[in-house]
Amino acid sequence: MTERTDLAPIRAAVRALCEKFPGEYWRRLDRERAYPAEFVAALTEAGFLAALIPEQYGGSGLTVSAAAAIMEEIQASGGNGAACHAQMYTMGTLLRHASAAQKERYLPGIARGELRLQAFGVTEPISGTDTLSLRTTARREGDHYVVNGQKIWISRAEHSDLLLLLARTTPREEVKSRASGLSVFIVDMREAMGNGLTIRPIRTMMNHATTELFFENVRVPADNLIGAEGEGFRYILSGMNAERILIAAECIGDAKWFIDKAASYARERVVFDRPIGQNQGVQFPIARAYMGMRAAELMMREAAALYEAGKDCGAEANMAKQLAAEASWAAADMCIQTHGGFGFAEEFDIERKFRETRLYTVAPISTNLVLSYIAEHVLGLPRSY
C-alpha cells in the first residue's frame, strides 16, 4: 500500500520546520524538563496543529492521513510531538459531538493559536485503565456543573488553556447501561485555576510535561457540556481510532529515525578494519527493525484509509498502534546496540529518543488492552475483564 503523493509537500514542509529545532534544542529541554514552547508556536503558526480543524473554522480541514504524516515527520526529524499531539487527538470528539455554537466558540481561536486545547483528562489514580470506574464527579447545580475528584497523568495541563474532561454525572448504581453516566466537558483552566483546580507536575523519565489534577468544587458552565449528558464514554471512544492512528504514525516516525541513525553509523564506524555494518550480526537487527516498521506502516495506512472511508477501523487502528509501538521500541533498542557505548552518550540523542518512545506500549493504551480488544472483537474470545 503506497502513500498518496499529495502528502509529500506536507512532509517536506514539516521537515523544513523541524530542521530549525535540532538535537541540541531538544537536549536542552530534556535536561531542564522544559516545554518546547517555541517549537509548538512555530507548528501552530505554520498551521500544522490546525490540520484537522475544518476550513470553515479557520483550519486546513485535512485528512487523518495528513495529520499522521505531520506527526510522523516530527518524530522522524528527531523531535517530540508529544508536546502538542493532544490538539489533534481531541478533535475527533469535538468535531463529532460538540454543538455548532461550541465549535464556533472554540475552533477559530484554536486554529489561530490563541486558544490551546492540549489537555485530555481521562485517567485516574484508582480506576486506571478501567475508565468506567472513574470517580471524578460533575454534579449539576443550576446553570453549572460542580466538579470534584482527581486525575493523573494529564499531560500538558500547564501548557493548555482548555481541558477535555471525562467525569461521572450519574452514579454507577443508577445507570441503565454500563457505559452510560459519564459526560465530557470543556473546562477552561484559566478560569478554574485558583477556583478549585490545582495542577501538580509529575517528573518522569522523559520530558513529557505530565501532571496530576485536583478538582475541588470547580464550577463549569453547563454550556460546556459536550453532546448529551451521560454519553461521554461513547464520545471519547469514538475519537480513539484517530488517536490510535496518530500514535502509530508517531511511533513509525521514531522507528525511521532510529533505523536511519543506526544504518548510517553501521556504514561509517570501522572496527577490526571494516565497517561494523559489514557484519551480519550488526546488519540483521537493523534489517529486522526495518521490516517491523514497514509492517506497522502498512497497517497504519490501512487503518487510515478505512477511517477516511467512514468504515469501522477499530481492529486496524488498534493493531497499527500496537505494531508501531513495538516496532519503535525494537528499533530504539537496536539503535543503542548498534552504537555500542556511544548509544548512551547524550549528544547522540539516541538515549533521549529511547526514553521517549518507551511510553507508547503503555499510553494512551497499554499492550494488554489492545490484545484483549483483538481477542474479543476480532477472534470472538470471551471478554477477559
Interaction site with ligand FAD (CB under 6 A): 120-123, 128-129, 153-155, 204, 208, 210, 359, 362-366, 368-369, 384-385
Q: How far is the CB of 171 from ligand FAD (least distance, A)?
A: 22
Which triple of cell numbers denotes residue 324?
Answer: 508501531
60 versus 204: smaller Cβ distance to ligand FAD: 204
Q: How far is the CB of 125 from ligand FAD (least distance, A)?
A: 8
Residue with cell 490538539: 87
* Side chain identity, residue 3: E
Q: How far is the CB of 8 from ligand FAD (least distance, A)?
A: 31
- Of residues 35, 24, 202, the one with CA closest to residue 125: 202
Q: 177: Cβ–Cβ under 8 A, 6 or more apart, which residues? A: none
8 versus 362: smaller Cβ distance to ligand FAD: 362
Nearest residue to the partner ligand FAD, using Cβ: 128
Q: How far is the CB of 119 from ligand FAD (least distance, A)?
A: 7
77 versus 210: smaller Cβ distance to ligand FAD: 210
119 versus 266: smaller Cβ distance to ligand FAD: 119
287 versus 371: smaller Cβ distance to ligand FAD: 371
Q: How far is the CB of 273 from ligand FAD (least distance, A)?
A: 45
232 versus 277: smaller Cβ distance to ligand FAD: 232
- Sign (positive/negative) of CA torsion 371, 372, 373, 376? positive
> Collapsing DSSP states into helix, strand and coil, what is residue 247?
helix
Contact 115, 191 (CB under 8 A): no
Look up residue 339 and give its DSSP letter. H
- What Å distances lie between residue 181 and 34, 107, 160, 266, CA to CA? 37, 27, 27, 56
E strand segments, 122-262: 137-141, 144-155, 162-168, 182-188, 197-202, 210-221, 225-226
Q: How far is the CB of 33 from ligand FAD (least distance, A)?
A: 12
198 versus 204: smaller Cβ distance to ligand FAD: 204
Give the C-alpha separation, 229 to 70, whole Å: 34
Q: How far is the CB of 152 from ligand FAD (least distance, A)?
A: 7
Contact 121, 218 (CB under 8 A): no
